A and B are shown apart, each in its own frame.
Chain A
């Protein structure tokens, strides 16, 4: 829950900022070690495998950071389920019909069909989409990854074609996550004219009241009302 401190609000609690760092570091390393294997036939794939200490070490690094990511996500879930303050935050991320309406309204606004701008709460539809995207992606990557990791158990339980499909899913879901995070999220966090060159919130957790009023007016009004 935000609290006004001078001319800014704390929007991103320290534990979440810490989780964010763990998630993106592990994801970058997972992407580097994962794509190295997926594109092992290319020169850059070979170079990456070399840089990662060879074929076996690449796998070890990949699995170590998979554990880091999985535990970060588990920690996050325990926190948002069991701590009251975080649980209230989490509920604000619930997808609602309003998000779709906001999306349409934003399209209309940019297309100059309407002059009315969507008014967002604490999390707008883009942020919710990203959050649930990361959750779904991590879930799929985690499950498929564990199936492939513990291959001897999987081979006892699953037919081979399921494992073939699992491998394809793991590779393409990883590609999808990479594209979303690397391009879409980088755009929103860095290149978007509102925040360029970088939205500092991920480091200090702060957002100025002015920005809040502009970008999350409903949240701003709620805070002022309180």
Chain B
């Protein structure tokens, strides 16, 4: 008896297991698989009409979908409102697909961004996930075909940012400014050389987190720029952080230059490019934007009139006439690692000047470096220059007066018949 009841129990368990398995099988068999959706959506002519009467294709290319990062995801995982429906064709208007279900972190970053904030305020024209990433055929970002890959993302961003109507409507930075990127060293590296490690939009501006420039969290905010550039230009950053400019920025002195102040932004070009802000010919102008600025030089007690005294020197004259094998600011002061002359590491420290000048003038000695470099013909700047100049001005003036008087006298004599 006991044996029988035992076997019944066992049978019951087996039966239940079978039942559950069968239910699962049934569920599997009856729930919507991707194949089921494809049944209709592989039809290229499948379409619906939008409210404005436009035809919207409902075709989903299976080949393309199978390449996408979401190939293992079910249709209903994204189109969640279709979960469990049994009647086909299903309703035409579906809920917007919500990516945040899986991509929560990206979503929360996006909601803080300039794009996300405005979108959530109700402007449906602003870019959302699909605007940049696409819909059914999203590829892995490392795939060159991916819409956000270095090469493709430029097109994604410029679709709006080079559209003059959109730019005007939202008061965005000018189209020409955006376009100038194409000619920059970064733009050309990627377009001409295929160098995908070159900086594209998102490298400098961020992607989900794009913010207005005055936001301290914006990558383009002055405080963050050195760090942004340092993602690629590491050694330059190390040198810059040591420099007087880098130290000042670290102290919060925002008048001090960061990378973009000297190099430009979208127009950034190699120093060998004559249009570059840091080309030998343009460097004096770039530096003098601050170092010849009366307000800034007075505010920080740094010597002014650097540009004029440079231009008056032979170096300056030659540079102005397009000679490039001539000292510009950077030749003597350095560039990323600029330090004040008081610093013993500075290229223009008195002890280092013979070596610095010696780069071009091998004979330069310690004695040579004794004099001031940027000299004005004033008493305060150079007594020798001042007095010699004063002497000549007086000497020449007096001589001219003597000559003119003598000629006048001689004429007077002639007129009075004294030949």
Given contacts A152-B361, A156-B363, contact A169 B388 (CB under 8 A): yes
Q: A112-B416, A155-B365, A161-B384 are in contact. Are A54 and B321 (CB under 8 A)?
A: yes
Contact check: which of B384, B396, B419 meets A172 at CB < 8 Å?
B396
B375 within 8 A of A: yes
Shortest B309–chain A CB gap in Å is 11
A117 to B419, CA, bound (A): 9
| A180 to B398 Cα, complex, angstroms | 12
Given A55-B321, A151-B361, A165-B384, answer yes or no on A160-B370 (Cβ-Cβ < 8 Å): yes
B377 contacts A183, C-beta separation under 8 Å? no
Instruction: Tally chain A residues at the interface, Cβ within 8 Å.
Output: 42
On whether the beta carbons of A55 and B323 are closer than 8 Å, the reply is yes
Question: A175 CA to B317 CA in the complex, in Å?
Answer: 19
Q: Is the CB of A176 within 8 A of B363?
A: no
* Interface bin, chain B: 35 or more
A49 on interface, CB distance cutoff 8 Å: yes
Inter-chain CB contacts under 8 Å: number: 109
Chain A nearest CB from B403 CB (Å) reads 5
| Cα A163 to Cα B322 with chains together (Å) | 24
Q: Which of B163-171, B241-249, B407-415 forms contacts with chain A?
A: B407-415
In the complex, the answer to whether A172 meets B375 with C-beta atoms within 8 Å is no
With A40-B317, A152-B363, A156-B365 known as contacts, the answer to whether A172 contacts B389 (CB < 8 A) is yes
Which candidate, A64-72, A75-83, A103-111, A199-207, is the interface stretch facing chain B?
A103-111
Q: How far is the CA of A68 from the CA of B412 in the complex (A)?
A: 40
Tell me if A164 and B375 are in contact (CB < 8 A).
yes
Residues B196-218 near A (CB distance < 8 A): none
Q: Whole-angstrom distance from the CB of A85 to the nearest CB of chain B?
A: 32
Q: Does A209 contact B (CB under 8 A)?
A: no
* Alpha-carbon distance between A151 and B393 when the two chains are bound, in angstroms: 26
Within 8 A of B (CB), among A130-171: 151-153, 155-165, 167-169
Q: Is chain A's binding surface mostly helix, strand, loop or mixed?
A: helix
- Residue B373, interface by CB 8 Å: yes
Closest residue to B370 on the A side, CB-wise? A159
Which of A55, A152, A184 touches B403 (beta carbons < 8 Å)? A184
**Which residues of chain A come closer than 8 Å to B385, judged between CB atoms?**
161, 164-165, 168
Interface residue? B180 (CB, 8 A):
no
CB-based contact A161/B395 at 8 Å: no
Closest beta carbon of chain B to A118's beta carbon, Å: 12
Return chain A residues, CB-CB under 8 Å to B362.
152
**Is B18's beta carbon under 8 Å from chain A?**
no
Q: Are B361 and A159 in contact (CB under 8 A)?
A: no
Closest B residue by C-beta to A151:
B361
Contact of A40 with B388 at beta-carbon distance under 8 Å, contacts A160-B369, A179-B396, A193-B414 already known: no
How far is B375's CA from A167's CA once the two chains are assembled, in angstroms? 12
29 contacts between A and B (CB under 8 A): A37-B317, A49-B321, A56-B323, A107-B409, A109-B413, A110-B413, A111-B409, A155-B365, A156-B365, A157-B363, A158-B368, A160-B369, A161-B370, A161-B372, A161-B375, A161-B385, A164-B382, A164-B385, A165-B388, A167-B314, A168-B377, A168-B392, A169-B388, A172-B388, A176-B392, A176-B396, A179-B400, A180-B399, A187-B407
Q: A152-B364, A168-B385, A169-B392 are in contact. List 8 more A-B contacts (CB 8 A).
A: A151-B361, A155-B365, A165-B384, A172-B388, A172-B392, A172-B393, A172-B396, A176-B396
Binding site for A on B (CB under 8 A): 311, 314, 317-318, 320-323, 357, 361-365, 367-373, 375, 377, 382, 384-385, 388-389, 392-393, 395-396, 399-400, 403, 407, 409-410, 412-414, 416, 418-419
